[in-house]
Structure 1
Amino acid sequence: MIQPQFRIALVTGSARSGKSEWAEYLAAEAQKAVKYVATAQIDPNDPEWIARIEKHIQRRPAHWETLWVPVDLARVIGDSDPSDCLLVDALGTWVANLLDEDEAVWEKRVEGVLESLEGAKGTIILVGEEVGWGLVPIYPAGRVFRDRAGQLLRRIGAIASVVYLVTGGYALNLTQHGIPLPKTHEKFS
């Protein structure tokens, strides 16, 4: 299909759109040692969540290494090697894991991830959920999650080599077909 040429790729879209499958395809095509960076936390009391995780695991090649990284994403990205392809799935889960952090701590974590991406030696593919296409959540935690996830995707998109939108089972290269928004200030609102 394609031979990917990128250092950082952001794959975004809605739930069940095919984001992870597209990211997995890109990782396989990178012809590097793939390290699947899973941000999920396994809750033994949630069989439906465990089934979702298991489905992802079964779909991946057995020789891909899985790293469970629910919090310290910056360190794992920063430690990447030129022979690595890190597939981070997913940013929304990472945001949810850190939802209780105050804004200053959250911003420091985001800055750490952005700095690690800019200095990463390996190929990095990040999967992120587009959560802002619906109604504004009526509860505070939902609004914080939506705002943090949206701002994180926008900031990563600004430094990514390529950004894909996956919807309806199709991947659209936004870098080729889109126009980047101007950077008006350091933080996006």
Structure 2
Amino acid sequence: MTGSLPPLTLVVGGARSGKSAFAEQLVTATGRPRRYIATAEAWDDEMRDRIARHLAQRGAAWTTVEAPLDLPAALATTRPDESVLVDCATLWLTNHLLADHDLAAEAARLIAALVACPAPVIVVSNETGWGIVPDNALARRFRDAQGRLNQRLAAEAQLVVTVIAGLPLVLKGSLPDPK
């Protein structure tokens, strides 16, 4: 896949569905400088190892910016010639939930920053609503907030793709033309 990306793309899917790899392919295919905005926080050794592995796999062709909470500020620093990958909205939302922030206000700030971003952005997010109903209030609050955030992102995006078992399915818009 080569070609230009729309201003906003949402890639959504379940855990380990292949959504991040697909999003990375879309960004790489543009041939533009690549910016990776990471939202994960390394709370334990397993997560530190995972982050280090992902950094090594992406390589030096990517500029990585860590933004576990202030994603709007990170988006504001992008250049118009770049392609941006935000991975992922789910961890970003989790960070705000655990910090007891106003999730609706943070989501509104994020949407405004995405719309204002001078570079095309791909946002990766998890679909959390296909499983069982969580057994505790915090998990239900998160699942509901994630569903609302995904809906807002999808409404704003010109391209929405779900990835299931490594296979992309376009839900809205169309993929860039292969050349």
Measured against aligned partners, the alpha-carbon deviations of 1:133-161 in whole angstroms (never above 9, x if no partner) come to 01111111101111111111110110111
User: Aligned partner of 1:155: which letter?
Assistant: R
**Ranges of 4+ aligned residues in structure 1 off by more than 6 Å:** none
Match of 1:82, SS state, is coil
Please name the residue that 2:24 is paired with.
24
Instruction: Using the TM superposition, name which of 18-27 and 1-10 deviates more.
Output: 1-10
CA contact under 8 A between 1:4 and 1:26: conserved in structure 2?
no
Q: How does 1:111-126 map to 2 (within 5 A)?
A: 111-126=108-123
Q: What's the TM-score, normalizing by structure 1?
A: 0.86
Alpha-carbon offset, residue 102 of structure 1: 5.1
Q: Is the Cα–Cα contact under 8 Å of residues 39 and 92 in structure 2 kept in the other structure?
A: yes
SS of residue matched to 1:164? strand
AA matched with 1:3: G
Aligned CA-pair RMSD: 1.7
- CA deviation digits over 1:38-80, x for unaligned, max 9? 101112xx22222222232222131211101000011222332
State how many pairs are aligned: 174
TM-score, length of structure 2 as denominator length: 0.90
- Please name the residue that 1:59 is paired with: 57
More relative contact order, 1 or 2 (CA 8 Å, 6+ apart)? 2
* 1:1-189 equivalence runs, <5 A: 1-43=1-43, 46-100=44-98, 105-176=102-173
Q: Is the 8 A contact 2:93 2:103 kept in 1?
A: no
Once the two structures are TM-superposed, the CA of residue 4 in structure 1 deviates from its matched residue by 4.3
What residue in structure 1 maps to residue 177 of structure 2? none
Instruction: Return 5+ residue gaps in structure 2 as ranges.
Output: 175-179
Q: Is the 8 A contact 1:77 1:113 kept in 2?
A: no
Deviates more, 1:55-64 or 1:127-136: 55-64
Asked if the contact 2:10/2:160 (under 8 Å) is kept, the reply is yes
How many Å apart are 1:17 and its aligned residue? 0.7
Q: State, as a whole percentage, how many aligned pairs show the same letter.
A: 34
SS of the residue 2:98 aligns to:
coil
Q: Distance in 2 between matches of 1:63 and 1:137?
A: 40
